[in-house]
Amino acid sequence: MVYNRREFIAFLGKASIATITIPPFLSGCSSNTKPLKNKLSEEQIKKLKNVVLEALVPSDKDDLLLANGLDYKIVIKWGDRISDKDTFGFNPDFNCFIPLDENNPKDGLLWVNHEYTNPLYVADFNPNDFENPSEHKTKAQVDKEMYSVGGSIVRIKEEQGVWKVVNNDSHNIRITAQTPIAINWDKPIMGKTEIMGTNSNCSGGITPWNTFLTCEENYDNCFGQTIYGENDNTTHIPSLNGWEKFYNNPPEHYGWVVEVNPKSGTAQKHIALGRFAHECCTLYELEDKRVVAYSGDDTKNEHLYKFISSKPGSLKEGTLYVADTVNGKWLALDWENEPVLKNKFKDQTEVLIRAREAAKLLGATPLNRPEDIEIDPITGHIFVSLTNNKPKGDYHGSILKIEETNGKFDALTFKASTYLAGGEENGFSCPDNLAFDLSGNLWMTSDMSGDAMNKENGPYMPFKNNSLFVIPRYGKDAGKVIRVASAPRDAELTGPWFSPDGKTLFLSVQHPGEQTTDKANPTSQWPFDGDNIPKPAVVAITGDLIDKMNYLNLVEGSST
Ligand code: FEO
Ligand code: CA
Ligand code: CA
């Protein structure tokens, strides 16, 4: 399979913007690289050869530990001021950096998802004090929680090797659970064409036209869930947060993919991509500029979807499909042409709102919680983290590999197989976020839940704290899962994103100290900035080891 440059740039996904270093796979698929060779001197190669990739041992230490050859600095943390008006939100997840000028990879706009809140820290409300906590929250407390989620755009610049926020830059804005957001659809959703806010923003993606995608995952925690009964009578399941006590927003307003324009800060919800617990949205641009969008529903026994647009650059015109991974088929959620859907739902809008039910009617395969999705920049295979499914006995998850027929992203058939299984043998459990670096090594974070981690005799004990791993593509460690960062206590490392020159890995440290029930005795004090309060933050990781990994094909030789 031969790719043109544009396709390869699309392939690069999270390292995709105006890559300064021509990626090795540009010169030809799966073969060794030539373009990079001209960019490194023999001396530089020798220096990188001396950088040793040495795995961290599992640790339960309350700190962000990094392998030798890596260093980190905090870019921004919860509560930091981004402008006179706004502060940085809570629990960062997905990061995406877009340079303002594609010739300068060191100055641009960082989008950060703020996935969920913690009432203890954000609203000074301790849920442990009450049997039914949400009944006791005040509107002021709910407003604080709603402000703490959504996303942030911050302009950041790298100066003398340090990434700093440009405070008060005109691009710096917050999108919150109360920001009005339009829908990209011709019919209203539950009577509205403009929706109050976005929430549960877990992972996301980037479009070929350089906008951010942020995905609404566990929206049922915010405004509850609608259960549709036999004759389409509905029942409202209350939310964990209890926001509906003050804001009577229907659950149908959430569970969408939201696109944010970095320059203007305006947002829109893409109804055509379906409504479910969207973990992420990973786009591929076809030669004719139509797009293919992959997205998983991170809920037990839910599904993997892909949208294929029928018009260039559209996330509205096209067809949403769901995966039958047993038979390798993409099944169309198409009301007009699928009698089984026509019998059940009144129109395509209802199919999209109730995508999970529609998927089941078509025979979609239940999966073990699909999380992040990335496209291998060298093979074009699609990797999907299946994090776990405990009731089915899958405690450690796996990475699913999808090979589209003939390598065509708009194919309607594919082959599915397991690329890598979690567990003690491979040294990781509960895969979540994925990212490829500039030479095609796969980086992966883990997400063992805070209440299960480090429990004596529990299934997760051997793995200790959540971590970041790299799976090298070349050399003696090719295919091995190597732990390169260990998170502070209770935390999860999320949102890995490489800067355009590949030299910085942005990473979120989400929910350190989450198991805290008494503020006077926090389970974590990371980042140790003097006030005893754990603070979720985004860090910038740099160092010789990242440089080595980006040139691993040159340094270590042959491809696997
Ligand atoms: Fe928010 Fe599925 O992780
Ligand atoms: Ca996740
Ligand atoms: Ca997760």
> Can you say whether the dihedral through the CA atoms of 414, 203, 307, 441 is positive or negative?
negative
CB of 259 closer than 6 angstroms to any ligand 1 atom: no
Both structure tokens of 453: 């981690």
Whether 279 lines ligand 1, by a CB cut-off of 6 Å, is yes
| Ligand nearest to the backbone CA of 116 | 1
**Dist. CA 389 → ligand 1 center (Å):** 13
CB burial of 216-253 (b: ≥16 within 10 Å; e: otherwise) equals bbbbbbbbbbbeeeeeeeeeeeebebbbbeebebbbbb
User: Cα–Cα distance between 378 and 436 in angstroms, integer?
Assistant: 10
Closest listed ligand to the CA of 296: 1
CA–centroid distance, residue 93 to ligand 1 (Å)? 9
Pairing of strands 267-270, 180-183: parallel
Cα gap 247→180, rounded to integer Å = 13
In DSSP notation, 17-30 reads TT-SSPPGGGGSTT
Cβ proximity of 111 and 100 under 8 Å: no
Q: Return d(Cα 126, Cα 122) in angstroms, integer.
A: 10
| % of the chain beyond a pLDDT of 90 | 89
Ligand 1 atom at minimal distance to the Cα of residue 369: 2
Q: Is 298 in the pocket of ligand 1 (CB under 6 A)?
A: yes
The DSSP output letter for 363 is T
Q: Tell me which of 83 and 2 has the higher pLDDT.
A: 83
List the domain boundaries for the chain: 5-116+149-219+254-549
Q: Kindly indicate the confidence band of residue 210, based on its pLDDT and cuts at 50, 70 and 90.
A: very high
Instruction: Find where tokens 């194919």 sit.
Output: 411
Name which residue sits closest to atom 1 of ligand 1, judged by CA.
202
Does ligand 1 come within 6 angstroms of the Cβ of 371? yes
Kindly tell me if the per-residue pLDDT of 5 is higher than 50: no
Distance of CA 227 from the midpoint of ligand 1 (Å): 22
User: pLDDT per residue over 215-240, tens digit each?
Assistant: 999 999 999 999 999 888 999 999 99
pLDDT at 558 over 80: no
Rama region for 268: left / alpha / beta (φ>0; ψ in -120 to 50; rest): beta
Q: Which residues pair with 444 in a beta bridge?
A: 434, 469
Under the banding of pLDDT at 50, 70 and 90, the label for residue 362 is very high
For ligand 2, the distance from its centroid to the CA atom of residue 556, given in whole angstroms, is 32
The tokens for 311 are 């018009």
CATH number of 5-116+149-219+254-549: 2.120.10.30
Query: Would you place residue 42 in the very low, low, confident or very high pLDDT band (cuts 50, 70, 90)?
Result: confident
Count of Cβ atoms closer than 10 Å to residue 68 Cβ? 14
Both tokens of 7, joined, read 């396709």
CA distances from 237 to 101, 133, 201, 247 (A): 47, 16, 21, 15
Token pair for 445: 């974070």
| Ligand 1 atom showing the smallest separation from residue 279 Cα | 2
Closest ligand 1 atom number to CA of residue 93: 1
Q: Tell me what pLDDT residue 86 has.
A: 98
Q: Is 14 helix (H, G, I), strand (E, B) or coil?
A: helix
Query: Residues, the chain, total?
Result: 560
Distance from the CA of 433 to the center of ligand 2, in angstroms? Answer: 6
What is the tens place of the pLDDT at every residue in 92-120?
999 999 999 989 999 999 999 999 999 99
Among all ligands shown, which has an atom nearest to the Cα of 494? 2
In ligand 1, which atom is closest to the CA atom of 115?
1
Q: Which ligand is nearest to the CA of 508?
A: 2
A 10 A CB-CB count for 104 gives 15
**Long-range residue pairs from 403-407, CB within 8 A, at least 24 positions apart, any chain:** 404/380, 407/1, 407/380
SS3 state of residue 502 = coil
pLDDT in the model for residue 16: 39
Mean pLDDT estimate for the chain: 93
CB-CB contact of 438 with 444 (8 Å): no
In the structure, what pLDDT confidence band is assigned to residue 41 with cuts at 50, 70 and 90?
confident
Ligand nearest to the CA of 433: 2
**Does residue 372 have its Cβ closer than 6 Å to ligand 1?**
no
State residue 26's pLDDT score. 32
CA-to-CA distance for 252 and 249, rounded, in angstroms?
8
**pLDDT value, residue 232:** 82
Instruction: Give the pLDDT band (50/70/90) at residue 53.
Output: very high
Q: Quick one: average pLDDT of 478-504?
A: 97
Say which ligand is closest to the CA of 466. 3
Q: Which helix (H) or strand (E) holds 120?
A: helix 119-122
Cα–Cα distance for residue pair 466/449, rounded to 1 Å: 9
What does the alpha-carbon distance between residue 365 and residue 126 come to, in Å, rounded to a whole number? 40
How many CB atoms neighbour CB 198 within 10 A? Answer: 29
Asked if omega into 496 is within 30° of 0 (cis), the reply is no
> Nearest-CA neighbor of 111 among 210, 20, 194?
210
Q: Is 170 exposed, middle or buried (0-12, 13-18, 19+ CB in 10 A)?
A: exposed
Ligand 1 atom nearest residue 277's Cα: 2
Please state the atom number of ligand 1 nearest to the C-alpha of residue 371: 2
Q: Determine whether the shortest distance from the Cβ of 217 to ligand 1 is under 6 A.
A: yes
**Residues near 453 by Cβ (< 8 Å), separated by ≥ 6?**
460, 463, 464, 465, 466, 490
| Distance between Cα 27 and ligand 2 center (Å) | 33
Q: How far apart are CA 95 and CA 154, in angstroms?
A: 11
- Helix, strand or coil, per DSSP, at residue 434: strand
Residue 423, Ramachandran bin (φ over 0: left; ψ between -120 and 50: alpha; else beta): left
- Report how far ligand 2's centroid is from the alpha carbon of 302 (Å): 15
Q: Specify the higher pLDDT residue, 414 or 4.
A: 414
pLDDT tens digit sequence for 281-304: 999 999 999 999 999 999 999 999
Q: Which residues pair with 282 in a beta bridge?
A: 294
Whether 202 is in the pocket of ligand 1, judged by its Cβ within 6 Å, is yes
Most confident of 24-28, 436-440, 552-556: 436-440
Tokens encoding 283: 């786009």
Please give the number of the atom of ligand 1 that sits closest to the Cα of 298: 2
Sign (positive/negative) of CA torsion 470, 472, 473, 479? negative
The string of pLDDT tens digits covering residues 134-167 is: 999 999 999 999 999 999 999 999 999 999 999 9
Of the candidate ranges 29-38, 225-234, 318-327, the one whose mean pLDDT is the lowest: 29-38
Ligand 3 centroid to Cα of residue 362, in Å, is 27
Model confidence, pTM = 0.94
279 C-alpha vs ligand 2 centroid, how far in Å? 6
Please give the backbone phi and psi of residue 451, each rounded to the nearest 5 degrees, phi first: -80, -5
Q: So what's the pLDDT on residue 556?
A: 84
Separation of 433 CA from ligand 3 center, angstroms? 8
Q: What's the gap in Å between 432 CA and the centre of ligand 3?
A: 6
Cβ of 115 below 6 Å from ligand 1: yes
Which of 223, 255, 238, 121 is CA-nearest to residue 523? 121
Could you tell me the CA-to-CA distances from 369 to 218, 301, 365 in Å, in that order?
12, 6, 11
Which spans in 214-323 are helix H? 220-223
